[in-house]
Copies of this chain bind each other. A is one copy, B any other.
């Protein structure tokens, strides 16, 4: 399907911006990427396949996302690190009634205070994005995580 260039640009921008805000530890700006009623779910890929729709993180609206961020900031004191998101190009599946369905493969490289980097996790963002009326915003973001064995997984948003 063909996507209008300005919608494509808005979608790609939101996805890239939101990743960069985490990398810069600008979590307030990250949260601004979400609509007030946005859902944010982090789920192991395995659960999807096995039919258990249970998330590691399950926030039903933006207020819950904010609560979560406060907790994460606290946890982070004991697990100081840098994140770096590497994103594959986004795929826009459909745009219907002002909502774009978008998938973006990603990986996160994490670097500790000694400057050692490692592959932290990989997965796919499955997003519903409001487009065409004001700035693009996430209505729903499901982070489908391939990696689920990492004990420090939840110390930052992904």
Residues of A at under 8 Å CB distance from B?
Answer: 2, 5, 9, 12-13, 16-17, 19-20, 23, 44-46, 82, 84-91, 103, 105-107, 109, 111, 114-119, 121-124, 146-150
Contacts and interface: CB of A to CB of B under 8 A. Distances in A.
B111 A146 contact: yes
A16 B41 CA distance: 24
Contact of A117 (B89, B90, B119): B119
A85 B124 CA distance: 10
Given A86-B88, A86-B122, A117-B121, 18 more contacts: A2-B9, A13-B91, A17-B91, A19-B88, A20-B91, A20-B103, A23-B124, A45-B111, A84-B122, A84-B124, A86-B86, A86-B107, A111-B122, A115-B149, A117-B122, A117-B146, A118-B119, A119-B119
The 7 closest A-B pairs by CB, nearest first: A115-B148, A115-B149, A111-B146, A109-B122, A117-B147, A84-B122, A87-B88
Contacts of A123: 84
A101 B82 CA distance: 23
A5 B9 CA distance: 10
Contacts of A105: 19-20, 23, 84-87
Given A117-B146, A146-B117, A89 B91 contact: no
Contacts of A86: 86-88, 105-107, 122
